[in-house]
Amino acid sequence: MKTILKYSLLLVLFYVAISCSKSEDNLPNNPSGSASSVTYIAGKEGNIPTLWENATPNELADGTYTASVFSVAVQNNDVYLAGFEKKNLTKKATLWKNGEAIDLSTNAFTSVATSVTIANNDVYVVGYEFETDADTFVAKMWKNGVVTNLTNGSHDAYAQSITVINNDIYVAGYESLGANTIAKLWKNGTAINLTDGSNEAEAYSVTVNNNDVYVVGMEFINGNEVAKLWKNGSTINLSDGNQHAKAIDVAVKNNNVYVVGYNGLKAVMWINGEIKALSAGSPIRDRALGIALDNVKPIVVGYVHDGNKYVATIWKDGTSTDLSDSSEDSYAWDIYLN
Protein backbone atom coordinates (compact mmCIF):
# COMPACT_ATOMS: atom_id res chain seq x y z
CA MET A 1 0.00 0.00 0.00
CA LYS A 2 2.83 2.38 0.82
CA THR A 3 4.31 1.99 -2.66
CA ILE A 4 0.93 2.46 -4.36
CA LEU A 5 0.37 5.67 -2.43
CA LYS A 6 3.77 6.95 -3.49
CA TYR A 7 3.03 6.37 -7.14
CA SER A 8 -0.22 8.30 -6.76
CA LEU A 9 1.64 11.05 -4.96
CA LEU A 10 4.17 11.22 -7.77
CA LEU A 11 1.45 12.00 -10.31
CA VAL A 12 0.22 14.86 -8.15
CA LEU A 13 3.68 16.25 -7.49
CA PHE A 14 4.65 15.87 -11.09
CA TYR A 15 1.99 18.16 -12.46
CA VAL A 16 1.53 20.51 -9.50
CA ALA A 17 5.18 21.10 -8.68
CA ILE A 18 5.98 20.88 -12.43
CA SER A 19 9.42 19.84 -11.52
CA CYS A 20 10.20 23.13 -12.81
CA SER A 21 13.53 22.21 -13.22
CA LYS A 22 15.65 25.15 -14.10
CA SER A 23 19.33 25.65 -14.35
CA GLU A 24 20.93 29.04 -14.53
CA ASP A 25 20.20 32.67 -15.37
CA ASN A 26 19.88 31.46 -18.95
CA LEU A 27 21.48 34.55 -20.40
CA PRO A 28 21.87 34.33 -24.17
CA ASN A 29 25.24 33.30 -25.58
CA ASN A 30 24.59 36.18 -27.95
CA PRO A 31 24.39 38.99 -25.36
CA SER A 32 23.46 41.64 -27.87
CA GLY A 33 20.08 39.98 -28.32
CA SER A 34 20.37 40.35 -32.08
CA ALA A 35 18.15 38.59 -34.56
CA SER A 36 20.70 35.79 -34.95
CA SER A 37 19.94 34.44 -31.47
CA VAL A 38 17.85 31.27 -31.25
CA THR A 39 15.05 30.63 -28.76
CA TYR A 40 14.60 27.04 -27.58
CA ILE A 41 11.51 26.04 -25.60
CA ALA A 42 10.89 22.66 -24.00
CA GLY A 43 7.33 21.47 -23.63
CA LYS A 44 4.63 19.11 -24.71
CA GLU A 45 1.71 18.85 -27.13
CA GLY A 46 -0.72 16.14 -26.13
CA ASN A 47 1.45 13.15 -25.20
CA ILE A 48 4.31 14.22 -27.45
CA PRO A 49 7.43 15.93 -26.03
CA THR A 50 8.15 19.00 -28.11
CA LEU A 51 11.06 21.36 -28.70
CA TRP A 52 10.13 24.71 -30.20
CA GLU A 53 13.04 26.33 -32.03
CA ASN A 54 12.18 29.95 -32.84
CA ALA A 55 8.50 28.98 -32.44
CA THR A 56 8.76 26.02 -34.85
CA PRO A 57 7.73 22.79 -33.08
CA ASN A 58 9.85 19.66 -33.37
CA GLU A 59 8.38 16.42 -32.06
CA LEU A 60 10.74 14.21 -30.04
CA ALA A 61 8.54 11.09 -30.12
CA ASP A 62 5.85 9.64 -32.33
CA GLY A 63 3.07 9.56 -29.74
CA THR A 64 2.96 5.79 -29.27
CA TYR A 65 3.91 6.31 -25.63
CA THR A 66 3.73 9.17 -23.14
CA ALA A 67 6.80 11.37 -22.72
CA SER A 68 7.63 14.88 -21.51
CA VAL A 69 10.57 17.27 -21.53
CA PHE A 70 10.92 19.86 -18.77
CA SER A 71 14.31 21.50 -19.26
CA VAL A 72 16.52 22.55 -22.16
CA ALA A 73 20.18 23.60 -22.46
CA VAL A 74 22.36 24.23 -25.50
CA GLN A 75 26.11 24.18 -26.10
CA ASN A 76 28.04 24.22 -29.36
CA ASN A 77 24.81 23.71 -31.31
CA ASP A 78 24.05 20.54 -29.34
CA VAL A 79 20.59 20.66 -27.79
CA TYR A 80 19.93 18.75 -24.56
CA LEU A 81 16.53 18.15 -22.97
CA ALA A 82 15.61 16.42 -19.71
CA GLY A 83 12.39 14.60 -18.96
CA PHE A 84 10.98 11.09 -19.10
CA GLU A 85 9.64 8.45 -21.45
CA LYS A 86 6.86 6.23 -20.17
CA LYS A 87 7.29 2.76 -21.63
CA ASN A 88 5.91 -0.45 -20.14
CA LEU A 89 3.79 1.68 -17.77
CA THR A 90 6.88 3.11 -16.04
CA LYS A 91 8.40 6.57 -16.34
CA LYS A 92 12.10 6.44 -17.18
CA ALA A 93 14.46 9.41 -16.65
CA THR A 94 15.61 10.43 -20.11
CA LEU A 95 18.09 12.86 -21.67
CA TRP A 96 17.64 13.85 -25.29
CA LYS A 97 20.69 15.02 -27.25
CA ASN A 98 19.85 16.46 -30.64
CA GLY A 99 16.61 14.50 -30.64
CA GLU A 100 18.09 11.14 -29.64
CA ALA A 101 16.73 9.72 -26.37
CA ILE A 102 19.21 8.35 -23.81
CA ASP A 103 17.98 6.39 -20.78
CA LEU A 104 19.59 7.68 -17.58
CA SER A 105 18.23 4.99 -15.28
CA THR A 106 18.71 1.24 -15.29
CA ASN A 107 16.11 0.91 -12.56
CA ALA A 108 12.85 -0.87 -13.41
CA PHE A 109 10.86 1.62 -11.33
CA THR A 110 9.77 5.23 -11.78
CA SER A 111 12.42 7.87 -12.48
CA VAL A 112 12.17 11.40 -13.85
CA ALA A 113 14.80 13.88 -15.06
CA THR A 114 13.77 17.43 -14.20
CA SER A 115 16.67 19.74 -15.13
CA VAL A 116 19.75 19.83 -17.36
CA THR A 117 22.70 22.21 -17.58
CA ILE A 118 26.09 22.20 -19.29
CA ALA A 119 29.33 23.37 -17.65
CA ASN A 120 32.91 22.87 -18.87
CA ASN A 121 31.61 20.45 -21.51
CA ASP A 122 30.09 18.25 -18.79
CA VAL A 123 26.38 17.47 -18.92
CA TYR A 124 24.58 17.61 -15.56
CA VAL A 125 21.05 16.30 -15.04
CA VAL A 126 19.01 16.07 -11.84
CA GLY A 127 15.78 14.34 -10.96
CA TYR A 128 14.51 11.53 -8.78
CA GLU A 129 14.11 7.78 -8.83
CA PHE A 130 12.15 5.23 -6.82
CA GLU A 131 14.36 2.68 -5.04
CA THR A 132 12.73 -0.46 -3.73
CA ASP A 133 15.40 -1.14 -1.09
CA ALA A 134 14.51 2.08 0.70
CA ASP A 135 10.90 2.19 -0.55
CA THR A 136 11.37 5.91 -1.25
CA PHE A 137 12.10 8.35 -4.02
CA VAL A 138 15.77 9.38 -3.98
CA ALA A 139 17.04 12.72 -5.31
CA LYS A 140 19.61 12.05 -8.04
CA MET A 141 22.26 13.79 -10.12
CA TRP A 142 23.73 12.39 -13.32
CA LYS A 143 27.04 13.82 -14.56
CA ASN A 144 27.82 12.62 -18.07
CA GLY A 145 25.48 9.71 -17.37
CA VAL A 146 27.10 8.67 -14.08
CA VAL A 147 24.61 8.81 -11.22
CA THR A 148 25.13 10.23 -7.72
CA ASN A 149 22.55 10.03 -4.93
CA LEU A 150 21.86 13.34 -3.22
CA THR A 151 19.82 11.69 -0.47
CA ASN A 152 20.16 8.39 1.38
CA GLY A 153 16.63 7.08 0.89
CA SER A 154 15.48 7.61 4.45
CA HIS A 155 12.79 10.03 3.16
CA ASP A 156 11.23 10.80 -0.21
CA ALA A 157 13.28 13.49 -1.96
CA TYR A 158 13.05 15.27 -5.31
CA ALA A 159 15.77 17.27 -7.10
CA GLN A 160 14.17 19.93 -9.30
CA SER A 161 16.85 22.30 -10.63
CA ILE A 162 20.61 22.47 -11.14
CA THR A 163 23.18 25.13 -11.93
CA VAL A 164 26.97 24.90 -11.97
CA ILE A 165 29.08 28.00 -11.32
CA ASN A 166 32.88 27.99 -10.94
CA ASN A 167 32.84 24.20 -10.43
CA ASP A 168 30.34 24.54 -7.58
CA ILE A 169 27.18 22.49 -8.11
CA TYR A 170 23.88 23.86 -6.78
CA VAL A 171 20.69 21.79 -6.74
CA ALA A 172 17.25 22.87 -5.51
CA GLY A 173 14.49 20.53 -4.46
CA TYR A 174 12.69 19.20 -1.43
CA GLU A 175 12.64 16.26 0.96
CA SER A 176 9.87 14.78 3.08
CA LEU A 177 10.26 14.88 6.84
CA GLY A 178 7.33 13.46 8.75
CA ALA A 179 4.10 15.06 7.59
CA ASN A 180 5.80 17.91 5.69
CA THR A 181 8.40 18.50 3.03
CA ILE A 182 11.42 20.76 3.54
CA ALA A 183 12.67 23.09 0.81
CA LYS A 184 16.34 22.26 0.25
CA LEU A 185 19.47 23.42 -1.49
CA TRP A 186 22.36 21.06 -2.08
CA LYS A 187 25.78 22.65 -2.67
CA ASN A 188 28.35 20.16 -3.88
CA GLY A 189 26.24 17.40 -2.38
CA THR A 190 25.85 18.97 1.07
CA ALA A 191 22.21 19.62 2.01
CA ILE A 192 21.07 23.00 3.33
CA ASN A 193 17.55 23.31 4.76
CA LEU A 194 15.73 26.42 3.59
CA THR A 195 12.73 25.78 5.84
CA ASP A 196 12.36 24.18 9.27
CA GLY A 197 9.71 21.57 8.49
CA SER A 198 6.90 23.24 10.39
CA ASN A 199 5.07 23.83 7.09
CA GLU A 200 4.97 22.06 3.74
CA ALA A 201 7.62 23.71 1.53
CA GLU A 202 9.26 23.04 -1.84
CA ALA A 203 12.08 24.61 -3.87
CA TYR A 204 11.86 24.56 -7.67
CA SER A 205 14.68 26.63 -9.14
CA VAL A 206 18.17 27.90 -8.26
CA THR A 207 20.52 30.41 -9.86
CA VAL A 208 23.73 32.14 -8.79
CA ASN A 209 24.73 35.71 -9.59
CA ASN A 210 27.74 37.61 -8.19
CA ASN A 211 28.22 34.87 -5.57
CA ASP A 212 24.65 35.32 -4.33
CA VAL A 213 22.48 32.20 -4.40
CA TYR A 214 18.81 32.60 -5.30
CA VAL A 215 16.23 29.85 -4.81
CA VAL A 216 12.48 30.07 -5.41
CA GLY A 217 9.58 27.89 -4.36
CA MET A 218 6.64 27.91 -2.00
CA GLU A 219 5.66 27.35 1.63
CA PHE A 220 2.15 26.31 2.70
CA ILE A 221 1.08 28.73 5.45
CA ASN A 222 -2.38 29.08 7.04
CA GLY A 223 -4.13 27.22 4.27
CA ASN A 224 -2.45 28.83 1.24
CA GLU A 225 0.74 28.38 -0.74
CA VAL A 226 3.01 31.42 -0.35
CA ALA A 227 5.49 32.20 -3.15
CA LYS A 228 9.01 32.36 -1.72
CA LEU A 229 12.42 33.67 -2.70
CA TRP A 230 15.45 32.66 -0.68
CA LYS A 231 18.57 34.81 -1.18
CA ASN A 232 21.61 33.27 0.50
CA GLY A 233 19.19 31.42 2.77
CA SER A 234 17.21 34.49 3.87
CA THR A 235 13.48 34.31 3.11
CA ILE A 236 11.47 36.86 1.14
CA ASN A 237 7.71 36.43 0.73
CA LEU A 238 6.60 37.31 -2.78
CA SER A 239 2.87 36.84 -2.15
CA ASP A 240 0.64 37.89 0.72
CA GLY A 241 -0.82 34.47 1.53
CA ASN A 242 -4.39 35.44 0.68
CA GLN A 243 -4.49 33.01 -2.27
CA HIS A 244 -2.38 30.18 -3.61
CA ALA A 245 0.88 31.33 -5.19
CA LYS A 246 4.10 29.67 -6.31
CA ALA A 247 7.45 31.01 -7.48
CA ILE A 248 8.68 28.54 -10.09
CA ASP A 249 11.70 30.01 -11.91
CA VAL A 250 14.23 32.78 -11.29
CA ALA A 251 16.78 34.76 -13.29
CA VAL A 252 19.07 37.57 -12.14
CA LYS A 253 21.04 40.25 -13.99
CA ASN A 254 22.45 43.65 -12.95
CA ASN A 255 21.09 43.04 -9.43
CA ASN A 256 17.56 42.80 -10.81
CA VAL A 257 15.72 39.66 -9.74
CA TYR A 258 13.05 38.22 -12.04
CA VAL A 259 10.76 35.48 -10.73
CA VAL A 260 7.87 33.79 -12.53
CA GLY A 261 5.05 31.58 -11.33
CA TYR A 262 1.41 32.10 -10.49
CA ASN A 263 -0.64 34.11 -8.02
CA GLY A 264 -4.22 33.07 -7.62
CA LEU A 265 -5.46 32.12 -11.10
CA LYS A 266 -3.00 34.29 -13.05
CA ALA A 267 0.43 33.67 -14.53
CA VAL A 268 2.67 36.34 -13.01
CA MET A 269 6.17 37.76 -12.91
CA TRP A 270 7.82 39.49 -9.98
CA ILE A 271 10.57 42.03 -10.74
CA ASN A 272 12.46 42.92 -7.58
CA GLY A 273 9.41 41.83 -5.61
CA GLU A 274 6.87 43.86 -7.60
CA ILE A 275 4.19 41.65 -9.13
CA LYS A 276 3.00 41.90 -12.73
CA ALA A 277 0.16 39.83 -14.16
CA LEU A 278 1.01 38.09 -17.43
CA SER A 279 -2.43 36.59 -18.03
CA ALA A 280 -6.01 37.49 -17.24
CA GLY A 281 -6.40 34.25 -15.32
CA SER A 282 -8.66 31.26 -15.80
CA PRO A 283 -10.76 29.14 -13.44
CA ILE A 284 -8.27 26.28 -13.86
CA ARG A 285 -5.21 28.57 -13.29
CA ASP A 286 -2.62 29.85 -15.75
CA ARG A 287 1.07 29.34 -15.00
CA ALA A 288 4.36 30.98 -15.93
CA LEU A 289 7.03 28.29 -15.67
CA GLY A 290 10.27 29.45 -17.27
CA ILE A 291 12.19 32.68 -17.82
CA ALA A 292 15.23 33.73 -19.83
CA LEU A 293 16.80 37.17 -20.14
CA ASP A 294 17.59 38.71 -23.52
CA ASN A 295 19.97 41.35 -22.19
CA VAL A 296 17.66 42.67 -19.43
CA LYS A 297 14.46 41.87 -21.31
CA PRO A 298 12.58 38.94 -19.76
CA ILE A 299 11.05 36.30 -22.01
CA VAL A 300 8.63 33.99 -20.19
CA VAL A 301 6.99 30.70 -21.10
CA GLY A 302 4.17 28.72 -19.53
CA TYR A 303 0.57 27.94 -20.36
CA VAL A 304 -2.91 29.45 -20.17
CA HIS A 305 -6.34 27.88 -20.32
CA ASP A 306 -8.49 29.09 -23.22
CA GLY A 307 -11.74 27.67 -21.87
CA ASN A 308 -11.28 24.31 -23.56
CA LYS A 309 -7.67 23.31 -23.11
CA TYR A 310 -4.24 24.43 -21.91
CA VAL A 311 -2.20 26.30 -24.52
CA ALA A 312 1.59 26.63 -24.45
CA THR A 313 2.36 30.35 -24.33
CA ILE A 314 5.29 32.75 -24.61
CA TRP A 315 5.26 36.29 -23.20
CA LYS A 316 7.59 38.91 -24.67
CA ASP A 317 7.39 42.70 -24.43
CA GLY A 318 4.12 42.38 -22.56
CA THR A 319 2.48 40.41 -25.35
CA SER A 320 1.42 36.77 -25.17
CA THR A 321 1.69 34.45 -28.16
CA ASP A 322 0.35 30.92 -28.49
CA LEU A 323 3.05 28.39 -29.30
CA SER A 324 0.65 25.59 -30.19
CA ASP A 325 -2.46 25.24 -32.31
CA SER A 326 -3.00 21.66 -31.17
CA SER A 327 -6.51 20.52 -30.29
CA GLU A 328 -4.98 18.86 -27.22
CA ASP A 329 -3.45 20.38 -24.09
CA SER A 330 0.00 21.88 -24.64
CA TYR A 331 2.58 23.15 -22.16
CA ALA A 332 5.81 25.17 -22.28
CA TRP A 333 8.07 24.31 -19.35
CA ASP A 334 11.45 25.92 -19.99
CA ILE A 335 13.24 28.39 -22.27
CA TYR A 336 16.85 28.79 -23.34
CA LEU A 337 18.38 31.57 -25.47
CA ASN A 338 21.47 30.73 -27.51
Report the alpha-carbon distance of residue 185 to residue 188 in Å, rounded: 10
Give the SS3 label for residue 112.
strand
In order along its 338 residues, the chain shows pLDDT tens digits of 323 223 333 333 434 344 444 444 554 443 334 444 899 999 999 999 999 999 999 999 998 889 999 999 999 999 999 999 998 889 999 999 999 999 999 888 999 999 999 999 999 999 999 999 889 999 999 999 999 999 999 999 999 999 999 999 999 999 999 889 999 999 999 999 999 999 999 999 999 999 999 999 999 999 999 999 999 999 999 999 999 999 999 999 999 999 999 999 999 999 999 999 999 999 999 999 999 999 889 999 999 999 999 999 999 998 999 999 999 999 999 999 99
Report the alpha-carbon distance of residue 318 to residue 338 in Å, rounded: 21
Query: CA-CA distances (angstroms) from residue 222 to 24, 70, 200, 243, 263?
Result: 32, 30, 11, 10, 16
Q: What is the largest CA-CA distance in the chain?
A: 55
Q: How many CB atoms lie within 10 A of CB 132?
A: 10
Report the alpha-carbon distance of residue 246 to residue 19 in Å, rounded: 12
Q: How many CB atoms lie within 10 A of CB 235?
A: 15
Report the alpha-carbon distance of residue 335 to residue 181 in Å, rounded: 28
**Which residue type occupies 184?**
K
- Decide: 117 and 135 in contact? Cβ < 8 Å: no
Report the alpha-carbon distance of residue 162 to residue 197 in Å, rounded: 22
Between strands 111-119 and 310-316, the pairing is unpaired
Give the SS3 label for residue 286.
coil
Secondary structure element (H or E) that encloses residue 9, with its range: helix 2-16
Instruction: Kindly give, in sequence order, each residue whose CB lies less than 8 Å from that of residue 208, ignoring residues fewer than 6 positions away.
Output: 24, 163, 165, 168, 170, 214
Give the chain's domains with CATH numbers: 2-337 (2.120.10.30)
Query: CA-CA distances (angstroms) from residue 138 to 109, 114, 173?
Result: 12, 13, 11
Q: How many CB atoms lie within 10 A of CB 281?
A: 18
Q: How many CB atoms lie within 10 A of CB 284?
A: 12
Nearest to 159 by CA among 118, 216, 119, 203: 203
Report the alpha-carbon distance of residue 83 to residue 101 in Å, rounded: 10
Report the alpha-carbon distance of residue 181 to residue 17 in Å, rounded: 12
Between strands 274-277 and 287-294, the pairing is unpaired
pTM above 0.85, yes or no: yes
Query: How many C-alpha atoms does 31 have within 13 Å on its Cβ side?
Result: 2
Instruction: Kindly give, in sequence order, each residue whose CB lies less than 8 Å from that of residue 221, ignoring residues fewer than 6 positions away.
Output: 199, 241
- Decide: 258 and 293 in contact? Cβ < 8 Å: yes
